[in-house]
Amino acid sequence: MRLQRALDTAYSRADEQAKLRFARQLQADDEAAAAGIAVPLAIAIAVVINGEDVLLVCRREADPAGIIWGSPPASSSREPPRGRPRSGKPSPKPASTARSATNSAAASTRSRACAPTTSSATTSPAKPRTATRSRTRASSGRPEKTSPDSSRNSASTRQFCVPWKGSNERAHHQRTPSHRGSRHHQRRASPPDPATGKGKASSPGSSPPARSSPANPAPRPQSERPKRKPASRYEQQAASGNAYTPTPAEP
């Protein structure tokens, strides 16, 4: 209720252009919902400044070594449909809709997580690097690559950006190349197997050898294994030591 009053206050203090943009946004969302069009969701992160301090929230996570501090979520909103207009039929991609619904629930949960009474500037889904503070004080981030299919891109983008509970700095953080060598990532990375150079190195005691049982018999030594008869012509020639020469195609 308190947050709603703050939103009302922010709306009442907004200029006419912002109110008009807000009304158009709501109208576009309502039309899309009435037409049964899947509407991509947007996650808003609040960068709250009070004097010379910024508000951070500490999330509860089981892994204490993870990144648990970040900016609080602001709210969830729906982006207007972009790209080519679709038909009025329901979306044929239930997976995309499901992801959006999941994000919607997560976003609404996050919006309840922290409730500072703030006055927020209006935002626009502008391209990330072209957003300037002279036009709007908000920064709209979409650091992912764009694809011709904007609907699929937005769905997969959202899935990538919000795979966890909390703000999106972590997603951006994971995409930052400079972070890949940090202790957090190194700790989770597995060293390659010195024998094969691939995969996780096997450490003594980490994976005990499988016991022999009727369902899982112990492997026989290589010398006791019956040799498989070469099946193909190539295998027969290779077994006899002759080099394989392909048969010329008959005319």
Partner 1 sequence: MIYTACDVVDGTAYVADDDELAEVAWCDRATLTAHVPYPFFGPVQDHLDANVR
Query: Where do contacts with partner 1 occur on this chain (CB under 8 A)?
Result: 2, 6, 9-10, 42-50, 52-60, 67-72, 74, 77, 109-110, 112-121, 123, 125, 128-129, 131, 133, 137-143, 161, 165-166, 168-169, 171-173, 176, 178-179, 182
Q: How far is the CB of 172 from partner 1 (least distance, A)?
A: 5
Q: How many Cβ atoms sit within 10 Å of the Cβ of residue 53?
A: 8
Q: In the 8-state DSSP scheme, what is residue 69?
A: E
- Report, in Å, the least distance between residue 26 CB and partner 1: 16
User: Smallest distance from the beta carbon of 146 to partner 1, in angstroms?
Assistant: 14
CB of 233 to partner 1, least distance (A): 58
Nearer to partner 1, 156 or 237 (CB): 156
Closer to partner 1 by Cβ: residue 143 or 199: 143
- Taking the least distance from each CB to partner 1, the nearer of 18 and 35 is 18
Neighbours of 150 (CB within 10 A): 15
Which residues, other chains included, contact 125 with Cβ-Cβ below 8 Å and sequence gap of 6+?
42, 79, 80, 140, 142
- CA separation for the pair 212, 216 (Å, rounded): 6
Q: Within 10 Å of residue 73's Cβ, how many Cβ atoms? A: 25
> Which amino acid type is present at position 74?
A
- Report the SS3 class of residue 73: strand
Q: Which is nearer to partner 1, 2 or 220 (CB)?
A: 2
Closest separation between CB of residue 117 and partner 1, Å?
3
224 secondary structure, DSSP code: G
SS3 assignment, position 117 = coil
User: Toward partner 1, which CB reaches closer, 94 or 116?
Assistant: 116
Of 38 and 74, CB closest to partner 1: 74
Residue number, 60 or 228, with CB nearest to partner 1: 60
Least distance (Å) between residue 20 CB and partner 1 = 19
Q: Cα separation of 48 and 75, whole Å?
A: 13
CA angle in degrees (0–180, nearest 5) for 121-123-88: 140
The minimum distance between CB 184 and partner 1, in angstroms, equals: 9
Q: Residue 67 — left, alpha, or beta (φ > 0 → left; ψ -120 to 50 → alpha)? A: beta
Which is it for the CA torsion 61, 112, 71, 22, positive or negative? positive
